[in-house]
Amino acid sequence: MSAPLIRMTGVSVAYGGTPPVLHGIDFVLEPGEIVTIVGPNGSGKSTFLKAALGMVAPAAGRVVRARGLRVGYVPQRLHLDPSLPLTVARFLTLGQALDRAEMEALLRRVGVPGLAGRNMATLSGGQFQRVLLARALAARPQLLALDEPTQGLDQPGIAAFYRLIEDVRQELGCAVLLVSHDLHVVMSASDRVLCLNGHICCQGTPSAVSAAPEYRALFGLGTGGALALYRHEHDHGHEHAGHATAHEVHSHDA
C-alpha cells in the first residue's frame, strides 16, 4: 500500500567525461515524508533532485519511481527573457489545462490573488516564486520538489515562503523534497535532513535544539525556529524512528 515514491540504489551521476557529481547514493522517499537536502555549493544538491525526478539519467545505479507519480516541481529562480510576453495565466496553463476559477483558486492559495493578467516580467521576486509554486500545485502532486526556491528573497520573504510550503503540504499530504543552499535554513517540519557533498555525508532528524536561543539569535525567528542539528544514522535512514544518535558531521573530501 505505502510503497516508496522514490527509491535510489547505488546512483552515480556524471556530466560528460568529468568525475561524477554524485556517487553511491542510496535513498528512499516515503509518501508524505519531508526531506531537506543541504550541502555546500557544488555538492550535487540540484543534481540529486534531478536524478530523483528522472530529469538526468544516472551513470550507474537505479532510480525507481512509483508508477504514475505526480510531481510538482519548483525550479530555481528562472530568468525570463524580457522579449517573451508571458502573463501569469498563460504560464500556469502551459502544458496543463486549467480554467479561470481553478487558476484564481491556486493563486489565492499561494497568497497572490488577482495576478493572473500580470506579465511575469513585472512580478517581484516573492510573487514570482509563489506563481512557480502555484504552477507546481496545479496537478495536486504526490511529491512537491523544490530546488532552492527562496534564492533572491529577503529573510522575511524566505520565512513566509517556507511557512506557505508547510501549510500547503499539510493540506495536500504530499511528500516534499527540498534543496536548500543554506545549511541553516531547514524546515522545522523536516522528517529528515540529508547532508550532501558528492555523496550522502549524513542524514537524520532535525533536532529540537533549534529552540536554543543562540541559534534563534543567529538565524532569526523567521523560519519558525527551523534550525537543525545534523544527526548521523548508521543504517542510512530506512527507518528514522528516533534512534538517531548525535554524531559529528563527517566530511570526507576526495
Partner 1 sequence: MMLDDFMLRALLAGMMVAAAAGPLGCFVIWRRMAYFGDATAHAAILGVALALTFSISIFVGTLATALMMAVLVSTLAGRGWAMDTTLGVLAHSALALGLVAVSFLPRVRVDLTAYLFGDILTVSWSELWVIGGGAAAVLLLILWRWSGLLTATISEELAQSSGIRPDLERLALTLALALTVAASLRVVGALLIAAMLIVPAAAARVYARSPEGMAMLAVLFGWIAVVAGLGMSLQLDTPAGPSIVTAAAAIFTLSVGGAGLWRALRPRG
What burial class does residue 106 get, using C-beta atoms within 10 Å of its C-beta: 0-12 exposed, 13-18 middle, 19+ buried?
buried
Closest to partner 1 by CB, 76 vs 207, is 76
Closest to partner 1 by CB, 46 vs 205, is 46
Single-letter amino acid, residue 49: L
Q: Per rule CB under 8 A, is residue 57 in the interface with partner 1? A: no
Closest to partner 1 by CB, 91 vs 215, is 91
Cβ(133)–Cβ(110) under 8 Å?
yes
Residue 104 CA to residue 161 CA, distance in Å, equals 19
Size of the site for partner 1 (CB under 8 A): 22
Q: Per rule CB under 8 A, is residue 27 in the interface with partner 1? A: no
Q: Per rule CB under 8 A, is residue 152 in the interface with partner 1? A: no
Residue 81 CA to residue 99 CA, distance in Å, equals 26
Q: List, as one string, the DSSP characters of 234-251.
A: TTTTS--SS-PBP-PPP-
Question: Quick one: cell of 178?
Answer: 527540498
Q: Per rule CB under 8 A, is residue 173 in the interface with partner 1? A: no
Q: How many other CB atoms are there within 10 angstroms of residue 234's CB atom? A: 9
Q: Which of residues 66-125 bind partner 1 (CB under 8 A)?
A: 71, 73, 75-76, 78, 80-81, 83-87, 90-91, 94-95, 119
Smallest gap from Cβ 118 to partner 1, in A, equals: 11
Q: Per rule CB under 8 A, is residue 37 in the interface with partner 1? A: no
Using CB under 8 A, list all residues that contact partner 1.
50, 53, 55, 71, 73, 75-76, 78, 80-81, 83-87, 90-91, 94-95, 119, 145, 147
